[in-house]
Each structure stands twice: as structure tokens, then as C-alpha cells.
Amino acid sequence: MSRPDLSLFTFQQLMALDACTRCGECVQWCPTYTEKPDLDAITPLRKIEAVRRFVRGQYGLRARLFGPRPPRPEALQAHATGTYDCTLCGRCAVVCPANIQTRELWIAMRRDLVRQGTYPAVFDRLRETFLNAHNISGDDNANRLIWSQNLPQIPEGVGKKTRAEVVFFVGCVASFYPQSYSIPQNAVQVLEKAEVDYLTLGGEEWCCGFPLVIAGMGDAAVETMRHNLEAVRRTGARRLIAACPSCYHTWKHDYPRVLGEPLGFEVLHLTELLVELLTDGRIPLRPLEETVTYHDPCDLGRTSGVYEAPREVIRAVPGVALVEMEHHHQYSLCCGGGGDVEMADKDLVTAVARRRIGEAQATGAKVLLSACQQCKRTLAGAARQEKIRIRVLDVVELVAQQMA
């Protein structure tokens, strides 16, 4: 039963298992290992070494000649713990001298662990919630626009239109977690100001599938992906914007690959649209004399390659001084909120976030900006816990706040 299914890996990934030299560069950069140094199985090199051992023990000439050697249950369990305690931040891929694309490799490993039934039980609940409620919180999906109830006036684009140029894909966290409501609330105000022809999908918006994809349960998300694609196509939109980097990444890269067809519309992160609107002069901004810093969300920066758009938006606010943290751009430290780790190990998330908020504090900035609702939620929580006086905002909140 514990024989890896090699068809869950690509040729390149299996080759990568032999390409890792265990130089340990990744160990120095792994945000979760830094906080959990007693769990060596969490380090990228150990994950690779474990799967290599599992594969070589049961496949190939040696296994055929001398019989397969299945892994000991405790070895498999340790590997599963290490693999699911990873935030999938992808920092290891940036520093890997062998150029191993680790993030995709960890997801393939998770898929194999799911197949073998060695994964945290909490993910079964996630899958069930996802399939039944069409979101990650288990709330009634018809309440997707509950965040709009606090707006002084609910714009037409929020639940009243059926066709528009742009679909604003809100995402589960911003739709159902009150700490993040302000992101879609401010986003629609900015879109209104810029006179963008947009709409939200309301109850027709289902979770993008990202949490299941990265949990290694991507197969269960295919129908949901198809539903979302059809829902967007029905609006006749030419563009889809997502404020959530994970939704953005999933739409832009996973949907065409998994569904095997081009989407037929462009996918943008909200910050990319904001750059356009600011460049066109459609959002005049008031000055703000403030020092701010910016946290690169892993799924927007490292995973999707969008580093400059959020920074351009921040610099567009007159008077704002943007200072970088010790680790930024591709070396940015994870906030801890990724990889579904929150479901498996909350303390680990808190520890990673604490380190990141410490970096933000060290810059002397009064405002910590990000472009991700999960990062905002995680970092704001850490700031509160650590009693650090720094405001944690999404870039779109800054823009909305400074609109003339």
C-alpha cells in the first residue's frame, strides 16, 4: 500500500529526486524548519531524500532482484508530517543550486500521500466542506456577498449585474472571514471610482479549488473548477480579477492546465488592474506622508512572478516612502498562512508570522502592506499577539483610503 505511485510525479520531478545533493541551502531558508528545528523531516532535502528512498526501495532493478523494501510506517508518517507542515512558500526553489522546482514537487508528494492514506485527517473535513458548501469555511455559499452589507451603498456590480467586462472573483477568505471583509469592500469602492464595468458572482462563485489542489486532493476540485469557468463565461467578461493571490494563481495557471483548454479571458491580480487604472489617471490619489513596507505574498511573488505591480501602486501614492524588509521579492519570508498549514499546525503558522512581523517592525514602518487576504489575516493576528503597533493593510485599502 505504501508504494509511491510514480505516475503522480513528472519525469522531471523523479529526476529531481536524484538531482538533490543535500547541500542544505534550502534548510537555511525554510521558514517552517526555522521555527520547528526538531522536525528534520520538514526540510526540503529530507523530503526529497525520503521519497527517493521510498521509490528506490520499491522500483527498479534492485527491488526486482532482492524484493521491494516498503518504508517503515514511522518513516512514512514522519515524511507526511514534514510534507504537510510545509507552507509551500517556494523559497527553497529560489535558492536551490540544482534549480529544483520544489513547490510542485511538494504538491506531487502530497497527492501521493493522499493516495496512500497518510495525511492529516483534518483534510478529509476540508474536502467534505469544499464539496458540500463550495467554500472553505462551511458557510452557506449564498452568503458570499455578506461583506457588502456594511457598505454605505451596495454597488450595482455587487450581485445585481449578470454581464460585465470584468469579473471580480472575491475568494473564500475575503467572503467569509470578517477580518478580511475590508478588502472586497475597498476593492469595489475603487472599481466604482474608476468606473470599471465589473460584477461579482455571489453564490455562483465557488471556491477556486486552491486549498484542495495544494492539499494533494486536486482531483476533487475539477468539477468545481469547471463550474467556476462556466459561471465566468456566462457573464461575457473579458477579464477576471482576483484580490487573493492563491485564487489568481489557480485561475491563471491551474485552470487551463487542469481543464485542458484556454479560459477565453484574461486573469489579473487586483494590483495589476490598479496599476492600469492609476496609469490611466482613473484613480486620483491624495498624498500621504507615511513610511510603509510591503510583504510579498508567496503565491503572488515567488509562485506567480508578480513583484512590481503592488510596489508600483504603493509608490503611486504621493508622499509614501516604501522601505523593504530584510527579506523581500523572491527571498521574501512567508507569513505562515500558506500550504493549508493552518489546518495541520496553527502554532507553526503563528511562529512564522511572528518572525515576519518582526522584520516589518525592524523597518520602522508604521504600515505593513500586503496584497493577500490570508497574509493580512495572519500578519495582523501576529501583530496583535506580539503587541506590535503596526497597521496591516491590503494595498487596495491604501488606495481606497487615499482616493481623492
Partner 1 sequence: MDVETLFWVIHLPLMVLFLVGLADVVGIWLQGRVEGVGAASAGRKFLILLGRTLRAVFSRRFPVILKAFITEAWFNRRLWRTSRWRWLSHFFLLNGFLLLMTLSGLAALSEKVLYHLFHLGHVPWIAMWYTADHPVTALLNEIGGVLMTVGLAFYIVRRYLARPAQLRTGSMDTWMVVGLGLILLTGWIAEIVRLNAGYDGPAPYLAFIGYPLSRLVSGWDLPWEMLSEWLFLGHGLLTSVVIVTIPYSKFLHAVATALVATVGGVQQETAMAHGGTAHVPA
Q: Judged by CB, which is closer to partner 1: 100, or 174?
A: 100
Contact (Cβ atoms closer than 8 angstroms) between residue 136 and residue 129? yes
Cβ at position 6, least distance to partner 1 in Å: 4
Question: Given the complex with partner 1, which of 14 and 390 has the nearer CB atom?
Answer: 14
Report the distance separating Cα 367 and Cα 220, nearest Å: 39
If you write DSSP's letter for every residue of 11-36 in order, what string do you get?
Answer: HHHHHHHHH-----HHHHH-HHHHH-
**Euclidean distance between CA atoms 320 and 292, whole angstroms:** 7
Helix axes 102-116, 44-58, angle to 10 degrees: 50
Name, in order, each residue with C-beta under 8 angstroms of 62's C-beta and a sequence gap of 6 or more.
Answer: 56
DSSP 3-state of 75: helix
Q: What are phi and psi of 305, to 5 degrees?
A: 80, 15
C-beta closer to partner 1: residue 18 or 140:
18
The binding site for partner 1 (CB under 8 A) comprises 6-7, 9-16, 18-25, 27-28, 40, 43, 45-46, 49, 55-56, 59-62, 95-101, 104-105, 107-108, 249, 252-254, 257, 302-306, 330
**Of residues 79 and 144, the one with the C-beta less far from partner 1:** 79
Beta bridge partners, 392, equal: 368
- Whose Cβ is closer to partner 1: residue 46's or residue 327's? 46
Q: Which is nearer to partner 1, 4 or 337 (CB)?
A: 4
- Distance between CA atoms of 378 and 370, rounded to whole angstroms? 11
To which residue does cell 523597518 refer? Answer: 363
**CA-CA distance, 173 to 167, in Å (whole number)?**
17
Location of C-alpha cell 483534510: 123
Q: Is 137 helix (H, G, I), strand (E, B) or coil?
A: coil
Residue number, 45 or 215, with CB nearest to partner 1: 45
Q: How far is the CB of 73 from partner 1 (least distance, A)?
A: 22
* Residue number with CB closer to partner 1 (9 or 169): 9
CB 69 within 8 A of CB 57: yes
Residue partners of 378: CB distance under 8 A and separation at least 6: 335, 336, 337, 342, 349, 353
